[in-house]
């Protein structure tokens, strides 16, 4: 699939030295974003190191901001809750995976593929594996849908419980049906 290059790219490093190899990885990820949305106007990425007090080394936080027509999309993961982000390359991968899901959803909405009056699929959390960073939703029609912590919106993945009622956006992944976004019913974070 052909795609256009992102016209405005900004990459910043905080609390760490500039790394050409990390920058190369970030630029490669940015170049792939055009496959998921054809009208990306800008992409800003911040790679930040957080020092851990009890352990040696750092946890890495990667924030990806993408500007598309009529929207500003943000993918950002809290490193304190995701031990895999001890590796800066894993942090980069996870942040861009989350951004790709948002871009796919944004492009679908712009094309009109998502009808706003449709009731999204619902189900209950059947299984949660925080160490492996995934969970399984059993849908109301008996299917199983896999999701990761990056899919959970307005709720903390680590505080999900088996039996929680959720609604979600379903996508096809390499491993079959998956939830790109998961909303927990009755437990939404309300911004005051």
- Does the residue 158 lie in any domain? yes
* 38 is a domain residue: yes
Q: Which of 52, 86, 111 corresponds to the end of one domain?
A: 111
Q: What range defines the domain where residue 140 resides? A: 122-184
Segment 70-95, tens digit of pLDDT: 788 888 765 555 555 788 999 999 99
**CA atoms of 134 and 75, how far apart (whole Å):** 18
Model pTM score: 0.55
Question: Which among 176, 82, 186, 182 is positioned nearest to 132, based on CA atoms?
Answer: 82
Please say if the pLDDT value at position 68 is more than 70: yes
H-run or E-run covering 147 = strand 144-147
Helix 20-33 with 88-111: angle, nearest 10 deg: 20
Question: How many C-beta atoms lie closer than 10 Å to residue 176's C-beta?
Answer: 10
Task: Please identify which residue in the block is written with the tokens 């974003």.
Answer: 33
Q: pLDDT tens, 134-187?
A: 899 998 888 899 998 888 877 888 888 999 999 888 887 777 788 888 888 875
Q: Nearest to residue 186, comparing CAs of 178, 163, 170, 177?
A: 163
């Amino acid at each position: 699939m052909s795609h256009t290059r992102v016209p405005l790219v900004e990459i910043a490093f905080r609390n760490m030295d500039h790394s050409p190899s990390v920058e190369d990885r970030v630029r490669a990820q940015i170049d792939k974003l055009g496959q998921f949305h054809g009208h990306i106007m800008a992409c800003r990425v911040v790679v930040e190191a957080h020092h851990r007090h009890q352990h040696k080394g750092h946890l890495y936080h990667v924030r990806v901001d993408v500007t598309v027509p009529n929207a500003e999309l943000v993918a950002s993961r809290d490193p304190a809750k995701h031990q895999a982000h001890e590796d800066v390359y894993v942090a980069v991968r996870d942040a861009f995976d989350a951004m790709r899901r948002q871009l796919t959803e944004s492009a679908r909405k712009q094309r009109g593929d998502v009808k706003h009056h449709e009731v999204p699929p619902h189900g209950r959390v059947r299984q949660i594996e925080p160490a492996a960073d995934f969970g399984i939703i059993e849908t109301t029609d008996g299917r199983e849908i896999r999701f990761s912590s990056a899919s959970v919106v307005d709720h903390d993945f680590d505080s999900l419980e088996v039996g929680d009622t959720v609604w979600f956006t379903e996508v096809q992944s390499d491993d079959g049906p998956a939830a790109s976004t998961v909303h927990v019913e009755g437990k939404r974070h309300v911004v005051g």
